[in-house]
Amino acid sequence: MTPQKNVVEPLVSAIKSSAQKNAASFHFPGHNRGNAAPASMTGLIGRTAFVHDLTVLHELGNLFCPYGPILEAQVEAAKLFGSSHTWFLVGGTTCGIQAAIMSTCSPGQVLILPRNSHISAISALVLSGAVPKYIIPHFLDHWDVAAAITPSQVSKAIQELEMEGKKAAAVFITSPTYHGLCSDLTTISELCHSHKIPLIVDEAHGAHFGFHSKLPKSALHQGADLIVQSTHKVLCSLTQSSMLHMSGNIVDKDKVSRCLRTLQTTSPSFLLLASLDAARAQISENPDSVFNRAIALADEAKRVLKQIPGISVLESSSFPASPAVDPLRLTVGFWNLGLSGSEADEILYKDYEVICELIGNRSITYVLNLGTCREHVHRLVLGIKRLAATHGSISKPEKKMVNNVHAPFDDITMSMIPRDAFFASKRKVAIRESIGEVAGELICPYPPGVPVLIPGEVVTEKIVDYLLHVTSKGAEVNGASDSSLSSILVCGKL
């Protein structure tokens, strides 16, 4: 890619000129171009943010029948990322994943997906009525981290369906994973296309891919059909703003647009949309070198950390099935010090004010990005050095070794599809009494953030033991009707 001269920002420019007008404003939002903005909020973010918080105006365009600046901004994004069409999203990658699955899978059709997919893919099963065919990921035991899905796992799932006389309506793959592990999407997309099956990629963590020789190739450049990226996670747009890209012609573009209209607010924030335009322009200015500094800092940090006794650094050699690993994800293992991820995090947070992205059972994941500075990387490295010096000398690793605790995926029986279980009547039972019942809600402890029970699956003793074990170790169960997990919702009337 060559640097683009005269990078344009159609939506940012249109919002700027619209806000500069002396308009007699009789439209939403109610703060009236900042005139009635609450003082506590202007104290936080300034009045300027309100002045530019505009709505669907003729000069800005409309997200749901794009014309003018919104259309131009989406076209610029499509050019940079290499899609045939790009949709800007204000409901995060969550709504992009839901739209991608709803537009490819009708009720009763089969979706092949990893069992540890993000919760948005599970809610898409409820919305679409699709029947899941799960791929169970391999786990790398001493990291307790799920590996990326391989082409042979996808091929096996397609073949198993064929043996039952069925065909998948779509394949859904998460690549990279939260830990930055990538799948071989080139082979997976060829495999899917040879069966005329569209490939959807959850690239929430990979919007930066392809913009440096050391970064993995993007899903778009490996033949995927629908790709969803959290621009806000790894590039620099505002939280909640994401992009959905399309390539090829297997997927019905109008159907995707219809699904997005169904799922998203009718009052999209133009600040969020403009931030997508700006984040794209920021990369367009220097697509080949914009990540130089961040990658150099990540390389340096890994080089030093690897030399510290008792500290492990996740590298591609740990996951031979992954053709690439995101160099900007830094996952550090503490098990040789006898520390769990949360024990190490507590020390690094309290003593060094280092805030991580993800806490695992045996590791912590840090994200480096365009805003990462050398001083912060030094602080992280220093904190880990001191932590290793203290804990390496006072504890015998074997004594405090943390057990592998990934979910018992070999124990899954789906008694109802997620949609039917979601809408079925429910009752609350004590956790031990739920054994043998059909789960009525999604139970996903953090860490490790993998759904252990999906609505419609039979609760087993092994699953209950696992849930009680991880919660006793401090895992939180967000979103369950009883976050303490003394009870859960199961399907069926009293």
Per CB under 6 A, residues contacting ligand PLP are: 92-94, 118, 120, 174, 178, 202, 204, 230, 242
Our CB check for ligand PLP shows the closer of 120 and 363 to be 120
CB of 99 to ligand PLP, least distance (A): 12
In the complex, minimum distance from the CB of residue 204 to ligand PLP, in angstroms, rounded to a whole number: 4
Question: Side chain identity at 323, as an amino acid letter?
Answer: P
Shortest Cβ 395–ligand PLP spacing (Å):
33
For ligand PLP, the closer CB: 54 or 201 = 201
170 or 459, CB closer to ligand PLP? 170
Q: How far is the CB of 241 from ligand PLP (least distance, A)?
A: 8
| CB 242, min distance to ligand PLP, A | 5
Cis peptide bond upstream of 445, omega within 30 = no
* Alpha carbon separation from 252 to 102, 203, 226, 258, 290 (Å, rounded): 11, 20, 11, 10, 34
Q: In angstroms, what is the minimal distance from the CB of 350 to ligand PLP? A: 25
Q: Which is nearer to ligand PLP, 34 or 448 (CB)?
A: 448
User: Is the CB of residue 96 less than 8 Å from the CB of residue 228?
Assistant: yes
Q: Is 223 in contact with 190 (CB distance < 8 Å)?
A: yes
- Given the complex with ligand PLP, which of 93 and 312 has the nearer CB atom? 93
Distance set, CA 25 to CA 35, 48, 266 (Å)? 10, 16, 20
Residue 477 beta carbon to ligand PLP: minimum distance, rounded to whole angstroms? 16
228 or 459: whose CB is closer to ligand PLP?
A: 228
Cβ closest to ligand PLP, residue 74 vs residue 94: 94
- Beta-carbon count within 10 A of 31 CB: 16
Report the b/e string of 482-491 with b at 16+ CB within 10 A: eeebebbbbb
